[in-house]
Amino acid sequence: MARNKITIVGAGNVGATTAHIAAAGHLGDIIMLDIVEGLAEGKALDIAEAAPVQLYEANIVGTRDWEKTADSDIVIITSGLPRKPGMSRDDLLAKNIQIVKDVSDKTAKYSPDSIVIVVCNPLDAMVYTAAKITGFAKNKVMGMAGALDCARFSYFLACELGVSVEDIKCVLMGGHGDDMVPLPRFTSVSGISITELLDEDKIAELIGRTRKGGIEVVNLLGYSAYYAPAAGTVKMAEAILKDKKAVLSCCAYCDSEYDVGGYFVGVPAELGRNGIEKIIELDLNESEQVQFQKSLAHVKQLVTKVDELL
């Protein structure tokens, strides 16, 4: 049986870490592509040289040549500037839109049947850009943010409650920004809603930390997070390549769903071999609706800027 072919565009922190986790998870052969001479080649060689220790069989290739990416099953776009202290994700828009535009063009040319997972920021706007430029079916273009934001919320909850991280199941909606919408009513410890286990103030405190989870790491490191973002990205790729029908929070195209009206935004969705196979529609209460609409309004503003710049 042929192995899956995974292209990772951008061999920086997120891209290279994604490649390593995907290789160690036996997801398929990996092509890492970057514009910086030697970078993708060097990181690919280093990851390949770990294979005899970690025991993975994948071919891992680094390149600057798009032809080597041809006919990929999945293209993961991590090429883009990351945040520095003092920056918001939105500050990256003008620069990253040009990169994502170029990369999306090439993705459509070399891997017209691929599924695209966008990682670079500002996430929801970059997913919209990739969908517009590739012209791919809407179920085949998506963004990774919810998997990361859920992981952060889950980690904080596990620490607070002193329970295993594997028992926490979290749902989070909205755009990938400070107005993201973690949903405590739908977040549980082995099925027990966290609203039964923690008081409102403590939940609000952990939601606040989740919303600022990205900048907390940026302020410590001086550059942006990559281990948890890469882990979230591989989780999505795995759900698709293994046709798992996994329900994950991710940035997906919604039209009538939640009355979004044709935008890419964070929602719980089922992921399988056809990409986004279903959007899960939750019965949001009034407060959750208000928060989601506020976050969606922000996404719409960014999309307007994208349309002006493209």
Ligand X SMILES: NC(=O)c1ccc[n+]([C@@H]2O[C@H](COP(=O)([O-])OP(=O)(O)OC[C@H]3O[C@@H](n4cnc5c(N)ncnc54)[C@H](O)[C@@H]3O)[C@@H](O)[C@H]2O)c1
The catalytic residue positions are 176
- Residue number with CB closer to ligand X (75 or 254): 75
Whole-number minimum distance, CB 149 to ligand X, in Å?
Answer: 7
d(CA 11, CA 39): 7
Whole-number minimum distance, CB 123 to ligand X, in Å?
Answer: 4
- Residue number with CB closer to ligand X (133 or 198): 133
**Contact indicator for 136, 212 with CB cutoff of 8 Å:** no
Enumerate binding residues for ligand X (CB under 6 A): 9-15, 33-36, 39, 78-83, 92, 96, 99, 102-103, 119-121, 123, 144-145, 148, 176, 224-226, 229
Torsion, CA 288, CA 178, CA 158, CA 264, rounded to 10: 70
Question: 65 is written with which tokens?
Answer: 């040549």
- Residue number with CB closer to ligand X (173 or 198): 173
d(CA 159, CA 170): 15
Residue with nearest beta carbon to ligand X:
12
Whole-number minimum distance, CB 184 to ligand X, in Å?
Answer: 21
DSSP 249: E
- Residue number with CB closer to ligand X (144 or 170): 144
**Contact indicator for 144, 251 with CB cutoff of 8 Å:** yes
**Contact indicator for 58, 30 with CB cutoff of 8 Å:** yes
Whole-number minimum distance, CB 97 to ligand X, in Å?
Answer: 11
d(CA 78, CA 81): 9
Which of 210, 177, 218 minimizes the C-alpha distance to 90? 177
